[in-house]
Amino acid sequence: MNENIIIINCGSQFTQLIARRLREMKVHSVILNWDSSCETVKAYSPKGIIISGGPDSVNDPDAITIDPEILNLGCPVLGICYGMQLLAKLSGGIVSSGNAKEYGVTKIRRTGKSELLNNSIHESINVLMSHGDNVSGLPEGFIITSSTEGEITSSIENSERKFYGLQFHPEVVHTEQGNEIIKSFVFGICKCSGDWDLEDWVEGTIASIRRDVGDGRVVCGLSGGVDSSVSAALVNRAIGGKLQCVFVDHGLMRLHEPEAVMNSYKDMGLNVIYVDASDRFLRELAGVTDPEKKRKIIGKLFIEVFEEEARKIKNAEWLLQGTIYPDVIESGLKKGAAVIKSHHNVGGLPEHMNLKLLEPLRDLFKDEVRVIGKIIGVPEAIVNRQPFPGPGLAVRCLGEITRERLDVLREADAIFRDELKRAGLYEGIWQAFCVLLPVRSVGVMGDSRTYNEAVVLRAIHSQDAMTAEWSRIDYDVLDRISKRICNEVRGINRVVMDVTSKPPATIEWE
Ligand code: XMP
């Protein structure tokens, strides 16, 4: 059995980030819900336990709590934020509500001898706090090991019982030396050896897919993107022929992309049905110019086409989806938030199909999915593919979508990306693509007047697509791109560059 750190999730939005930090340290962790019994936790023979933060106040009558017996298992416990308050309360301390709210980056100073902090951090560091309650009465056997400039307790410990509490979040990048603190806990205190890695994750996940799926058949909608392709490759390794993939070509992919994607899938040994639904999509989209209408039409039709195909697959029991952790957080946090764009991808497939969901990547971040893709031999072109929106070129072809305009956009887009590759710039850019504008302007070619549409070059740098900075591309490269597009693409006589970051713009134009 792996060396396990158990993370007890009390509802913090950072819980997966704790797991990620441990993965980066080559330490295996298992996230269990707060209501897990002591027996469940014990079954993992944990080397240590981390209790996460959470939105509640421990003083609320119906606040979530953990099985107190877990604290008697004899293994080290680290409570983070709400986890520290819970640890303090269950150990007999007092937590006060509301009189010391702190949200944001705060300076803390070490105050006493601390097994957890002494060798891991400087005397004083900046940390991310996000709490309304604080520990005001220490439980017996505990000492205060750091406090804020406002004299609020920021960490406590009982080195005899190996209980440690942090009022701040060591797992986020805003906390200086946060990783050092986590390392001090898992290596210094829990004595983990740090010999686990993503290859072990692959082996473990393949084994659990085999166990869960058994003899059942799995269907999967492929999009050519990283997440769905890596999920399919993983499941294919686990159950081979019992996985049936469907690739719906909506006619809105880039130049030669459907063929390239299908060839990659064949090379990967996947069982894929190719469905050319481009006529259907273009028919439904005819005359539609409103961005949200386009998105809705495509999303709905995609589900219809996929469902029709999936129904033909006999004895399908499971639906494989390429959900990754940011999708999970987004859908969790989105309630009540303003809709900027109705996102569509193969992750949003039919609930009423009565299929059980298989989501092997749902705990992972994008860069981890890429590493796993490489481990299991997913081709580079897919693993390193730039993000491409589910509705494809429809949201880059402003105004009416016609086959002719899509072809114009495809050609211009291919030239843009080709020249960036030649200049060695493409790999360093988060997304680079063309947008076709329904705006005509006058030009001159040879001795003739032209009156054609314009193409926009959009290239951005980003970390997570939530914000983005427009890419500064060398003028000579831009010049080559502009000349080639005007010379080679019929119907374009003007090339412009989008120099807007996100916010205020979004990455896609629609
Ligand atoms: P925006 O335009 O909102 O895009 O700044 C943020 C990121 O999301 C991609 N995008 C989508 N991805 N389905 C997707 O899977 C969609 O409907 C969709 N719309 C935008 C966009 O390319 C960028 O990376």
Pocket flag, ligand 1, residue 387 (CB < 6 Å): yes
Measured from the Cα of 431, ligand 1's closest atom is: 24
Q: 197 alpha carbon to ligand 1 midpoint, in Å?
A: 30
Is 169 a known active-site residue? yes
Q: How would you class 454 by CB atoms within 10 Å of its CB: exposed for 0-12, middle for 13-18, buried for 19 or more?
A: middle
User: Residue 236: phi, psi to the nearest 5?
Assistant: -60, -40
Mutate to test the pocket of ligand 1, among 301, 339, 343 (most ligand atoms within 8 A of CB): 343
Question: What is the average per-residue pLDDT within 263-268?
Answer: 96
Buried b (16+ CB within 10 A) or exposed e, 171-190: bbeebbbbbbbbbbbbebbb
Pocket flag, ligand 1, residue 296 (CB < 6 Å): no
Out of 81, 245, 397, 434, the active site residue is: 81
Cβ 166 vs Cβ 79: under 8 Å: yes
Out of 3, 115, 157, 171, the active site residue is: 171
Mutate to test the pocket of ligand 1, among 293, 429, 431, 507 (most ligand atoms within 8 A of CB): 507
Whether pLDDT at 52 is above 60:
yes
Cβ 382 vs Cβ 229: under 8 Å: yes
- Describe the crossing of helices 278-285 and 291-312 by its angle, rounded to 10 degrees: 150
Does residue 346 sit in helix, strand or coil? coil
Out of 169, 190, 245, 486, the active site residue is: 169
For ligand 1, atom 18, name the residue with the nearest CA: 389
pLDDT digit string (tens) for 330-365? 665 444 556 777 766 554 556 677 889 999 998 888
Pocket flag, ligand 1, residue 461 (CB < 6 Å): no
Amino acid residing at 413: D
Token readout for 125 is 């560091």
Pocket flag, ligand 1, residue 389 (CB < 6 Å): yes
pLDDT digit string (tens) for 401-433? 999 999 999 999 999 999 999 999 999 999 999
Is 171 a known active-site residue? yes
Q: How would you class 463 by CB atoms within 10 Å of its CB: exposed for 0-12, middle for 13-18, buried for 19 or more?
A: exposed
Higher pLDDT, 325 or 419: 419
**What global pTM score does this model have?**
0.83
Distance of alpha carbon 452 from alpha carbon 454, whole angstroms = 7
Measured from the Cα of 386, ligand 1's closest atom is: 24
Which among 180, 176, 137 is positioned nearest to 156, based on CA atoms? 137
Pocket flag, ligand 1, residue 161 (CB < 6 Å): no
Q: 345 alpha carbon to ligand 1 midpoint, in Å?
A: 9
In this prediction, residue 351 carries a pLDDT of 67
pLDDT digit string (tens) for 144-176? 999 998 889 999 999 999 999 999 999 998 899
Mind giving me the DSSP string for 109-163? EE-S--TTTTTTS-SEEEEEEEEEEEEEEPPTT-EEEEEETT--EEEEEETTTTE
Question: What is the average per-residue pLDDT within 102-116?
Answer: 91
How confident is the prediction for the chain on average, in pLDDT?
A: 93
In this prediction, residue 365 carries a pLDDT of 87
Measured from the Cα of 223, ligand 1's closest atom is: 15
For ligand 1, atom 19, name the residue with the nearest CA: 389
In this prediction, residue 345 carries a pLDDT of 58
Pocket flag, ligand 1, residue 366 (CB < 6 Å): no
pLDDT digit string (tens) for 249-258? 999 999 999 9
Q: What residues form DSSP beta bridges with 273?
A: 246
Question: What is the average per-residue pLDDT within 390-394?
Answer: 96
